[in-house]
């Protein structure tokens, strides 16, 4: 059974930091595009960052560049999202996603991922 389990969300003040984790199980972890998405109330889901487990060249959305870092621990089947200098606009439910294709293919088909986690809430107060 495929599982993506996120953790690390919480409430912080603006300027603070959080690190989200996503542990993957139930599928072959290698050669997957792994990504973080977020969805704020009343807004569409948006990609935050993505990385390929086979060769970890990351991609970032403009809203997360320079503040967020996506990284992998392939030995632990885990993808992380380090978020620094958080802003109230970063408040959202954050979701981990995975798909057994390259991130280039995922991008070409509009970031439609096969597997999704249940999400973890991040709340940033001003």
The kind and range of the H/E element at 92 are strand 92-99
Identify the pLDDT of residue 57: 78
- As given in the structure block, the two tokens for residue 14 are 């603006």
Q: Is 59 left (phi over 0), alpha (psi -120 to 50) or beta?
A: beta
DSSP 90: G
Residue 54's pLDDT band, with cuts at 50, 70 and 90, is: confident
Identify the pLDDT of residue 126: 94
- Burial profile 46-61: b = 16 or more Cβ within 10 angstroms, e = fewer: ebbbbbbbeeeebbbe
């Amino acid at each position: 059974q495929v599982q993506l389990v996120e953790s690390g969300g919480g409430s912080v003040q603006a300027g603070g930091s959080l690190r989200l984790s996503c542990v993957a199980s139930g599928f072959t972890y290698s050669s997957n595009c792994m990504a973080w998405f977020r969805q704020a109330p009343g807004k569409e889901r948006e990609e935050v960052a993505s990385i390929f487990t086979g060769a970890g060249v990351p991609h970032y959305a403009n809203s997360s560049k320079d503040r967020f870092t996506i990284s992998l621990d392939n030995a632990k089947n885990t993808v992380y999202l380090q978020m620094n200098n958080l802003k109230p606009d970063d408040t959202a439910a954050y979701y981990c996603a995975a798909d057994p294709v390259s991130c280039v293919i995922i991008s070409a088909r509009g970031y439609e991922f096969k597997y999704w986690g249940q999400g973890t809430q991040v709340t940033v107060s001003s």
